[in-house]
Amino acid sequence: MLPVIGELRPWADPSVTALHRLPMRPPTTAFPDRAAARADVRTDSAFWRSLDGRWRFRLFDHPDRVPPAAIRLEGDSGKHWTTLAVPGNWTVQGVDDHPRYTNVQMPFDGPPPRLPDHNPTGVYRRSFTIPRGWSGRQIVLHLGGAESVHTVFVNGRFAGYGSDSRLASEYDITGHVARGRNELAVVVSRFSAHSYVEDQDQWWMAGLHREVFIEARAAVHVHTLRCDADLRVDDGAGLLDVTAVVGGTAPPAAGWKVRVFAETLGGKRLGKAQVVSVPHRFVDPYGFRGHGVTAHFEIADVSPWSAEHPNRYRVIAELVDPDGDVAEVHAQLVGFRHVEITDGDLLVNGKRVWIFGVNRHDHHPDRGKALTLDDMRADLYAMRGLNITAVRCSHYPNDPRLLDLCDEIGMYVIDEANIESHAYNSSLADDTRWRSTWLDRGARMVERDRNHPSVIMWSLGNESGYGRNHDALAGWIREADPSRPLHYEDAIRQCGWHDGGRHATDVVCPMYATIADIAAYEGDRPLILCEYSHAMGNSNGSLADYWDAITNSPHLQGGFIWEWKDHGIRTTLPNGRIGFAYGGQFGESPHDGNFVADGLMSSDLVPHPAAHEVAWVYRPVTVEAAGRAKLRVTNRRAFSDLDDLVARWELLVGGTVIESGALTLPPIPALSSAVIPLPCERPDDADAHLTVTFTQVADTQWAPAGHFVAWDQVELRRLRRRRIAGAASKGAAADVLTTPVELALFRAPIDNDGFKLMPELSRRIGVGGTAWVGWEDAGLHRLPAADFADHEHQIDVLEDGSELHHHRVVVPDTLTDLARVGVTFRLPAGFDSVRWYGRGPVENYPDRNRGSLLGVWEAPVDEPPYLVPQEFGLRTDCRWFEMVGDGVSVRVEAFDPGSLHCSATHFTQADLLAAAHETDLVPRDELVVHLDVAHRGVGTASCGPDILEQYRVSPGTYAFSYRIVVTAS
């Protein structure tokens, strides 16, 4: 049993959030002079030491079973101990305790606050040295994050206990250390009473996953440096309140002062410094408010901070001792910006901004929750490359360095408290045992992150019901920081969009609302979807339809796609191959399967095809027709013109570029439009389009000059029924096809059709899409398509040897929701690339193709892009589609109608259906081709609305014709 606290068992008591933990503060490091403070390199400080690296580690099956010897110096022979990396999760470092994935359900039985009998508990051990020069200073241990709760022992003595896996805990260990070598033990329990409020949709991990360091702070030092930077919108003045709270091992005596000034990042002083005396008369009834000072500055004509222009300034705070000497210097970077809600709109610096957002978890496929600065930077750069300018920290405070990066490159952030009681979201919000937990987690988030200009809203958590605990936290935040609106989805879910939950949320922030519902919204708060367009597998249908509603409805300002990337964990899978694991593949039970693979990016940050559509939907400038001979160009930015972009146009007729040039634009200020003439004559030819692109003039942090930022295509002349022209043919199609042309009505279910790995979810409790259930019950996946629909197929062999195929398919009324109506055939080995005139360049589907331009494209045959195999690889609106092999090509030309949806892969639908993981797939040598006259949209039904009616494949008669031409390539 753990010394001192073993019998108290605080990990089982939800009302105990910490013991001996120091107050939260914004991250700040003391330096000896201004130059060092400006450089802000902690490793250069003589009073800061990282404890990251290899730690000794031993795992026990319960905190009660950790023997005192495990945390003391004596009796440690090394037997049963190993070494692990810190930061790191022991669950991904070869210890016999693996990750577990659940979405809503807890990984162990309740009710709260009951804990499982098996509660893995790790003891981390390492030594550290206290230098001679640290004598007389306050020695502080910083633990950046420990999942779930932790207990600290220094030299065998209890030093502190803390909860909240996603915020740092600091402890004064001065009285526990001696000069020279010391021994530190941190005991981390995987589950606790606080696990019930950390029930987010992610892997349950364990361990010390963020940085650990020790710091020697002066006996009198600046403990907290709070910088509230605001912007007076009407005249552009910066308003800065700097509060320095002095702390330490003893109260400051008379004569201590704090000198504060602001400067540019280049070091130019902004106005005069202010010197304020630190209060020292603590015996002053009704008058003493602590050892804190506040300096107020009004700075004319500052350059405001926004996601478009992330201008920052530096605040320098010097602690001056009674002799007039500078004891230490602190620096904080700030941005002047003003956030408010006025007349139902969210305004930044007085302007209505679009929220082009995505939800983001901490995740790395090898290190779990332990992310490096480079990992975070890679995430944000990739986001900005896709025109994403807002991130919701789902569902907990991220590493503070991520917020530093958001400040630097420009991202609007919803900072979210680490509160999610999803499995018990109707009870814990009113449970007084968790009241202190709610307040502690939300308040500490605000105290840590309030200096960041990127943070524009505080979120009270996620999927935790709505109750008195939320209102208590909301009241605290509103008093502590009235400069930012509050955000909480469950308040409006439970109480309604119009007047519901106003104390807890200033925005209407629904999850997975339908397009019809958001379009009908008429409330007086801004509507910003906290989650929409669930990116699980082949998904994100109707993104453009969502944004049609958003841009055409008052008070709708955008939302956050769920989510940024898959959470696959690289490991040896049950099939013996190395790959990215999802729930259940570590043998855990219960689990929620591949629901954890729901990102726009793969686990290792490779974009999924839908990312292309996101970049288009979130583009900062749009082009549309404005009559027959004009274009309307709209600047969607709030603070920038278009001078940083180069616009070009191309005129395409039949997919061929026949004319191009630079597009001359008039000045188009922020949030305005201009109507300009077409840059070319409207052609008489059918199937004519004008493409307009915008690329970066110069390099940015996230992309080089020439990066495509925005694109649009305007139809000038419609496609007409195509006439058949002769062609030099190498031979009849029948000589090349290895199978006959057959009717196809089925696709391997995408996650939005229904969970093939978790069929009970849709069948038993109605979660997710239901299309796959219908197909499976009907036998569409195992019986010939001809058993389900009448199919007439006529082939005319033309003089040149090409074949003209005519199909008439009658889908009966009993088949109300098919995957496709089309045909399939196969080609022999050797076909390894495709060319097509249709939408591209990447995979696209009928409800996810508005950002895919019509043109002539060429690419290798697609590889499966999704962790769980499913339908993939379609290209819509193809006028022709050509499979290229060794010396021969097979070309399909759409005839009536003039375009088809086409795909060519090395997998049959049966192959994709049978495979549970991407590593199960074995590509065929032959090429499997699909030609569809109708194909079901992809929607977002795995966690959200199913497809819109116009994207459904319904009963009726489908007639289509095409020609197959075989030529020398």
Q: Render pLDDT for 19-53 as a digit per residue (tens, 0 to 9).
A: 999 999 999 999 999 999 999 999 999 999 999 99
Question: Is residue 179's pLDDT more than 70?
Answer: yes
Q: At a CB cut-off of 8 Å and minimum separation 6, what does 41 contact?
A: none
The CA-CA-CA angle for residues 193, 196, 199, to 5°, reads 145
Question: Is residue 674's pLDDT more than 90?
Answer: yes
| 728: confidence class by pLDDT, cuts 50, 70, 90 | very low
What share of the chain in percent tops pLDDT 90? 94
Residue 452 to residue 434: CA distance in whole angstroms: 28
The one-letter amino acid at 888: V
Active-site residue, 198 included: no
Structure tokens at 309: 């222009």
Question: Is residue 75's pLDDT more than 60?
Answer: no
Which residue, chain included where needed, has tokens 């895919």?
A: 852
Taking residues 489-497, what's their average pLDDT?
Answer: 97
Report CA Rg, the chain: 31
Helix/strand number for the chain, H first, E second:
12, 53
Reduced to 3 states, what is the DSSP secondary structure of residue 78? coil
Nearest residue to 721 via CA among 959, 966, 967, 890: 959
| 77: confidence class by pLDDT, cuts 50, 70, 90 | low
Residue 493 to residue 496: CA distance in whole angstroms: 6
- Distance, C-alpha 459 to centroid of its chain: 16
How confident is the model over 400-443, as pLDDT tens digits?
999 999 999 999 999 999 999 999 998 999 999 999 999 999 99
Question: Is residue 768's pLDDT more than 60?
Answer: yes
Cis ω for the linkage preceding 113 (within 30 of 0): yes
Nearest residue to 101 via CA among 919, 867, 920: 867
Q: At a CB cut-off of 8 Å and minimum separation 6, what does 703 contact?
A: 381, 384, 385, 696
Cis ω for the linkage preceding 563 (within 30 of 0): yes
Residue 201 to residue 103: CA distance in whole angstroms: 4
Predicted confidence at residue 724, as pLDDT, reads 62
Are the CB atoms for 603 and 639 separated by under 8 Å? no
H or E, element range at 695: strand 688-696
Predicted confidence at residue 72, as pLDDT, reads 82
Taking residues 633-654, what's their average pLDDT?
Answer: 98
Confidence (pTM)? 0.97
Reduced to 3 states, what is the DSSP secondary structure of residue 207? strand
What are the C-alpha distances in Å from 415 to residues 24, 382, 462, 506, 508?
16, 20, 11, 14, 16
Taking residues 247-275, what's their average pLDDT?
Answer: 95
The active-site residue, picked from 215, 416, 463, 613, is 463
| 811: confidence class by pLDDT, cuts 50, 70, 90 | very high
Taking residues 198-222, what's their average pLDDT?
Answer: 97
The active-site residue, picked from 198, 211, 318, 531, is 531
Residue 562 to residue 545: CA distance in whole angstroms: 17
* b/e map 943-955, b = 16+ CB within 10 Å: bbbbbbeebbbee
* b/e map 224-234, b = 16+ CB within 10 Å: bbbbbbbbebe
173-176 own/partner pairs: CB under 8 Å, 24+ apart: 173/139, 173/140, 173/141, 173/214, 174/137, 174/138, 174/139, 174/249
Mean pLDDT (the chain, rounded): 96
How confident is the model over 339-367, as pLDDT tens digits?
999 999 999 999 999 999 999 999 999 99
Are the CB atoms for 954 and 811 separated by under 8 Å? yes
Active-site residue, 463 included: yes
Are the CB atoms for 23 and 162 separated by under 8 Å? no
Taking residues 241-252, what's their average pLDDT?
Answer: 93
Handedness of CA 58, 59, 63, 68 (dihedral sign): negative
Taking residues 898-907, what's their average pLDDT?
Answer: 98
Write out the DSSP string of 137-190: SEEEEEE--EESEEEEEETTEEEEEE--TTS-EEEE-GGG--SEEEEEEEEEES
The one-letter amino acid at 393: C
Cis ω for the linkage preceding 116 (within 30 of 0): no
